Amino acid sequence: MSNPVAAPQAPDHVGKTLRELRRSRRITIQQLADGLNRSTGYISQLERGLSQPTLKDLYAACTIFGVPMSWFVDLEEKQPEAEREKDIVVRGGQRRFMLHRGARTELLTPQLDSDVEFMMSTFEPGLETEPKNVPTAGAEYGYIQKGRLELWVDEEKFELFEGDSYRFNRSSTYRSRNPSKTEPAIIIWVGVYK
């Protein structure tokens, strides 16, 4: 009698990336399972690399997290230099990114972290974000690298220009807008969670 053939395992990268995204967004396994119409056990197996995700599941996860499918593709080169730097360096042309309503947000670190987010967002002309209130302790720090930004924190408006920076508590209600009709705004920001 022959042994049954085990199903191919999901690459560690996919499971780790799914866990990073879920934790960085403060989403529980139950919430993700509900969003994918799957069981919590299945999500746990995906995150540990014990189950193979379907393309439908990955596409749904991309929709939930607002990231392109390439977020789950391991672009790591197999050269010794790339192996040594993969946990330390992010090359400019190899950043993972998210697209959401006219904003492109790039991850500036090799992995997502549940305590700190280090990102660069490009706001297209006229883009305005929805009001946000993150029910967590911590702060956001930002630097306007290019362009202008209007920032509302608890409904108080601040006009920021290239070279300006800001800080506010993550528990505040906040939103922002690029007031330019022609130029993008580039913001480098760090979200710190306690």
Instruction: Give the tens place of pLDDT for each residue, 137-194.
Output: 789 999 999 999 999 999 999 999 999 999 998 888 999 999 999 999 999 999 887 7
CA dist 60 and 56 (Å) reads: 6
Provide the token pair at 118. 């280090």
Confidence (pLDDT) at 144? 97
Task: Give the helix/strand (H/E) hosting 41.
Answer: helix 40-47
Select the highest-mean-pLDDT range: 76-80, 83-87, 90-94, 140-144.
140-144
User: Position of tokens 């197999």?
Assistant: 78
**13-33 average pLDDT score:** 85
pLDDT of 13 higher than 80 = no
pLDDT of 5 higher than 50 = no
Distance between first and last Cα of the chain: 56
Confidence (pLDDT) at 153? 94
Look at residue 95 and give its three-state secondary structure: coil
pLDDT of 4 higher than 50 = no
Give residue 1's pLDDT band: very low, low, confident or very high (50, 70, 90). very low
Confidence (pLDDT) at 146? 97
Confidence (pLDDT) at 185? 97
Confidence (pLDDT) at 3? 38
Provide the token pair at 162. 């290239």
CA distances from 99 to 23, 81, 107, 166 (A): 19, 30, 12, 23
